[in-house]
Every structure is written in structure tokens, then in C-alpha cells.
């Protein structure tokens, strides 16, 4: 809202109607350059010598990456797609929904530790910081046949310290968690290996013929505005202080209660802010501590608080995820209701 005019775009009805950019591709090279500039400035990902593709949100790229890491022919056994609970449910629901010959969802990584024999490829989703609990995680499976998809949606100074630039083989980012423009459906993947990049391009070509050029234009303008403000620091200072404030208020409220607890996140050195800092997660991973509070979601719901139950994240229903990245009004209402609930105990 502070940059309402400079972040606006106006597109004439006749303008940018075709499928392609002037180089014949679906991907704006100017936007690629902006993305690389921002990663270099934030220090959260290495892009030099790597390939970048765009997706309709990172959601599209998650499956494009699974496809790209899976074997080409059905004569090889299907790739096993796995993740570590609590994890973002779309990895499982999407993989199962597509019901493909060359990949299948095979549950939690814990069932496969020391069992990653080379007869099949393993595709491990690693989300760092993790949704729902905000922890900086690492992959758990090892072996040449293990491929990682690193979902870096929350690897921005808003949410976490940036200990070092991520340099994974395949990293996925999204504008949804950078600027909040989830409705523009724009994400990008940074890929080390050329063959994997080519396969992702094929997927995106067959699936949607690239990302809407209107969405790319919107994203370009937003990157422009980010890069201009206080040499690119303004949005991160703003977002970090906003979320840190919310996290601190929430911790104060929950600390008054024995019935509920929050995830523990330790502070770390942040190369972006050049100091030690607390993490400021996008979500609270709230636990109902009493054994009998097996349905934490219902306890909160009865108090007028809507979260998401732990089982959605393949975890226990003593847990509920609460969002800290909705509007200020939503957050204030959440804190008021939590204060009332805690005071009743």
C-alpha cells in the first residue's frame, strides 16, 4: 500500500497478446535477470551458472520437478516420492492425484532410511524453512539415486535467518510468500543440471505452454519496486519486523498457558541482516499438551479460531497450524481470541 502507484501496471487491450517473447521463449529474460539480482542481494540462493524456469505458482513446479527426476520409461521402476512429517500436504496429494506410471507417493522418509537401494530413484521433498513448523530442515535420505526437491518458499528474511545462500540441485521459490501475491500464480525453479532443466521445460510446455505473460509482467513490476526500495532492503525490514512482532505477541500469549505450546526455534546468525536474529515463522505449530486434547483443532474452533489440523500435515492432531501471515485485522482477532481462551484455563 505504501507503493501503490509505483507498483501499479497498466496494460493496453491490444498489448502483449501473443504466446512468445521476442526470443521465441515463454520466459521473460528480463524477469530472470531481476530474480537473479534479488537472490544475489538477499544472499539466499546461488543462481550463477544455473537454469531458471517459471511456473503457474510454485504448485505447478512441484510436479514438474517430480516428473523431471522420474525415469523416462515404464520399464524402470517408478520413482518413490517421499517427505518428512510434518510436511506441506500438496507433495502427497498432487503426486497421488496425477497417478503416473513413472512416480508414486511412498510415504514418510522414516520408512526408507538405509533402504534406498539403487533399484529405484527416490525423490525427497525438503521444505526449508518448513511449512508448518518453520524449522530449517535438511534432507534425510542418502545415496546417488536420491534426488531432492528443495522447496524454498519461505527462505526469505521475513521468516528466517539466512545462514548461507542455498545451493541445492533444484530449488523452488514463489512470489506468494515473497510479496504475498499468491493470486498472480507465479513461481520459479533454479536448476543445476541441464537435462533436468530440459525435462521441466518440456513439462511446462505440454502442461500450460508457459506462464501467463500478464502474470510475468505483474511480477516484473513487483521485482522492480522491491529492488528500488532502500537498495532492496525495505520489503525485508518491513516484513521481518511485522512477523517478528506477531510471533513475539503470540509467544507472550501462549507462555501464560500450560495447556498449549509452540514450536521452539533458536536464533541464528543472518547474513542478510548481519546479526544474530530470532526466526519469525509464517505459521505457529501449536500443540495441545494434554493427552485428552486429542483434537486440538476442535478446541480452538470452539473458541472461534480456525487453524488447520495436524493430520493434514501427516502429524498428530494434538497439533494445529495457525497462520501469522494474514491481514493485520485477522492477526489481532486471532490474538484476542487466544488471550480469551488462555485466560479461561
Q: How far is the CB of 343 from ligand PMP (least distance, A)?
A: 32
Q: 63 to each of 93, 184, 214, how far by Cα in Å?
A: 11, 19, 23
Q: What is the DSSP letter of 166?
A: B
**CA–CA gap between residue 345 and residue 138 (Å, rounded):** 38
Q: Could you say which of 31, 35, 44, 57 contacts ligand PMP (CB under 6 A)?
A: 57
What are residue 308's DSSP bridge partners? 321
Q: Could you say which of 8, 30, 113, 182 contacts ligand PMP (CB under 6 A)?
A: 182
Distance of CA 44 to the CA centre of its chain: 13
Q: How far is the CB of 97 from ligand PMP (least distance, A)?
A: 15
Span from 17-25, 174-182, 229-237, 305-313 in contact with ligand PMP (CB under 6 A): 174-182
Nearer to ligand PMP, 58 or 280 (CB): 58
State yes or no: residue 58 binds ligand PMP (CB under 6 A).
yes
State yes or no: residue 124 binds ligand PMP (CB under 6 A).
no
Q: Could you say which of 127, 128, 150, 253 contacts ligand PMP (CB under 6 A)?
A: 127
State yes or no: residue 187 binds ligand PMP (CB under 6 A).
yes
Burial status of residue 323 (CB atoms within 10 A of its CB: 0-12, 13-18, 19 or more): middle
State yes or no: residue 153 binds ligand PMP (CB under 6 A).
yes
State yes or no: residue 45 binds ligand PMP (CB under 6 A).
no
State yes or no: residue 156 binds ligand PMP (CB under 6 A).
no
Nearer to ligand PMP, 171 or 305 (CB): 171
| Contact call for residues 188 and 54 (beta carbons, < 8 A) | yes
> Strand 170-174 relative to strand 146-151: parallel, antiparallel, unpaired?
parallel
State yes or no: residue 174 binds ligand PMP (CB under 6 A).
yes
Q: Which three cell numbers stand for residue 75?
A: 520399464
Number of Cβ within a 10 Å radius of residue 20 = 12
State yes or no: residue 63 binds ligand PMP (CB under 6 A).
no
State yes or no: residue 59 binds ligand PMP (CB under 6 A).
yes
Concatenating the DSSP letter of every residue in 95-161 gives HHHH--SSEEEEEEGGGTTT---TTS-EEEEEESS-TTT---------STTEEEEEE-TT-STTTS-
Span from 55-63, 263-271, 295-303, 325-333 in contact with ligand PMP (CB under 6 A): 55-63
Span from 39-47, 51-59, 73-81, 202-210 in contact with ligand PMP (CB under 6 A): 51-59
**CA–CA gap between residue 207 and residue 307 (Å, rounded):** 33
Concatenating the DSSP letter of every residue in 73-85 gives STTSPPEEEEE-S
Distance of CA 134 to the CA centre of its chain: 10
Nearer to ligand PMP, 141 or 325 (CB): 325
Tell me, by CB under 6 A, how many residues bind ligand PMP.
12
State yes or no: residue 326 binds ligand PMP (CB under 6 A).
no
Taking CB atoms, the residue at the shortest distance from ligand PMP is 57
State yes or no: residue 179 binds ligand PMP (CB under 6 A).
no
Q: Which residues bind ligand PMP (CB under 6 A)?
A: 57-59, 88, 127, 131, 151, 153, 174, 176, 182, 187
Amino acid at each position: 500500500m505504501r507503493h501503490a502507484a509505483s507498483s501499479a501496471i497498466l496494460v493496453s487491450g491490444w498489448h502483449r497478446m501473443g504466446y512468445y517473447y521476442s526470443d521465441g521463449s515463454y520466459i521473460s529474460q528480463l524477469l530472470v535477470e531481476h530474480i537473479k539480482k534479488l537472490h544475489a542481494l538477499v544472499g539466499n540462493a546461488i543462481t550463477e551458472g544455473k537454469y531458471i524456469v517459471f511456473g503457474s505458482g510454485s504448485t505447478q513446479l512441484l510436479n514438474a520437478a517430480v516428473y523431471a527426476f522420474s525415469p523416462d520409461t515404464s520399464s524402470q521402476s517408478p520413482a518413490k516420492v517421499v517427505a518428512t512429517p510434518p510436511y506441506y500436504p500438496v507433495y502427497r496429494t498432487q503426486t497421488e492425484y496425477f497417478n503416473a506410471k513413472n512416480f508414486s507417493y511412498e510415504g514418510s522418509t522414516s520408512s526408507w532410511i538405509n533402504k534406498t537401494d539403487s533399484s529405484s530413484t527416490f525423490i525427497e521433498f525438503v521444505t526449508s524453512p518448513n511449512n508448518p513448523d518453520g524449522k530449517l530442515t535438511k534432507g534425510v535420505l542418502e545415496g546417488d539415486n536420491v534426488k531432492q526437491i528443495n522447496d524454498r518458499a519461505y527462505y526469505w528474511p521475513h521468516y528466517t535467518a539466512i545462514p548461507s545462500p542455498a545451493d541445492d540441485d533444484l530449488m523452488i521459490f514463489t512470489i506468494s510468500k515473497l510479496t504475498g501475491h499468491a493470486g498472480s500464480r507465479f513461481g520459479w525453479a533454479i536448476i543445476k543440471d541441464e537435462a533436468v532443466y530440459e525435462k521441466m521445460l518440456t513439462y511446462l510446455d505440454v502442461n500450460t505452454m508457459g506462464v501467463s505473460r500478464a502474470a510475468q509482467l505483474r511480477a516484473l513490476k513487483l521485482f522492480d519496486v522491491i529492488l528500488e526500495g532502500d537498495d532492496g532492503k525495505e520489503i525485508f525490514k518491513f516484513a521481518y519486523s511485522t512477523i517478528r512482532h506477531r510471533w513475539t505477541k503470540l509467544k507472550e500469549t501462549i507462555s501464560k498457558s500450560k495447556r498449549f505450546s509452540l514450536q521452539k526455534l533458536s536464533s541464528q546468525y543472518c547474513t542478510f541482516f548481519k546479526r544474530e536474529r530470532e526466526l519469525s515463522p509464517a505459521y505457529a505449530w501449536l500443540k495441545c499438551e494434554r493427552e485428552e486434547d486429542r483434537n486440538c483443532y476442535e478446541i480452538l474452533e470452539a473458541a472461534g479460531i480456525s487453524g488447520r489440523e495436524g493430520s493434514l500435515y501427516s502429524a498428530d492432531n494434538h497439533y494445529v497450524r495457525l497462520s501469522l501471515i494474514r491481514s493485520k485485522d485477522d492477526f489481532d482477532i486471532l490474538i484476542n481470541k487466544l488471550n480469551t481462551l488462555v485466560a479461561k484455563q
